[in-house]
Structure 1
């Protein structure tokens, strides 16, 4: 894990690192990083960026491919093993498993909103899990996207799904038991990663193109521009006028999307 200072996006600086081996998933809340290392979920305090410190860890039944933290709980999935795991992280020094659901077959990515977790479940579409009772998570909604749901982002009452060869799908989630598609964009490529901020969505496909999409009218998303990236994108996040891209072997790339 690396900590990077990026106040000036032209001159990012490596502040610190936490060497622990292979990491496939990480989420950050405040000054704590929740990350996967082999079969462990590790919680690392990086309040001193130059000297991050592990606070606690727990053994997982499978290596995590995605971790999402909300409040006192971490949610864990693996992209080729059935299962959705809930870890109580209220005490960072002693994380403990509190719930499990085996209906997630091959979840790639997920997003959390209040007591609902939205899982991009590959060929099984978009799955919604109710985690209001962390000891007994239950499936509360499902939508067959028609493609390969590879990533999901939530904005208000809408879910944005990177649906593989089927492009970008926009789904009304205001009634989790009755999901409805309201918008679609054919990217003509295999769409696998996305992020949403306000009226813009940034999506990435297998051609390594970053596509900037206007979603101010969710029923009619419009592509505004593209940026070509040299490597296969692993993940991305939007903050203000910039998109921060984990660009595979190409490292961290920062794209100015102020003028799409």
Structure 2
């Protein structure tokens, strides 16, 4: 009874499921202690070895039970909290998934419309790409034609420059001769009934440039003009009429 009283007193502050369980645990502590005592006596009788069972051993048994109970309750509490948290997470996840499913269902018509629009846009882009390729071919052909024309123009320019380079010395010589021409020279030329071939050819060209008949009579009239020399000096050689050039 003393052992039972001690265990009940120690277990009084331990909260179990009911008072009956507290009493049952208290009696179990007594039974364990008594069984150890009997086992100790048997151990001594057989092996002649003494193992001392003291009141402190009994208290240690009770304290060990209380401590082990507290540890197991703590482990249980942690496991329970983990389980509850896991269940809460699963519940929240399911709610999120349900919400996403609902939103996805609402978006299906929009996604379908966007998909159709994208398909049409791709088709339009492909069509415009084909048109662009056609335009590119036309532009390339025109560019080739322009390059060809440019090359031909450059060739004409080079040829004209060559002719100009050859004509410039003659032009400079003619300009010097014109500047040296005086009234006496003109009178002498007019006095020819049949001018020398070189003089006749020169005056024929002068008449053509002044848009007169290309014969000797017209040449003498041109020579009789008191402004003849000034007309030749001031002649706009850079803007000769096309019909004059063709003659």
TM-score, scaled relative to structure 1: 0.18
Greater radius of gyration (CA): 2
Question: Which structure has more strand as a fraction of its residues?
Answer: 1
TM-score, scaled relative to structure 2: 0.18
Question: Which structure has more helix as a fraction of its residues?
Answer: 2
Higher RCO by CA contacts (8 Å cutoff, separation 6 or greater): 2
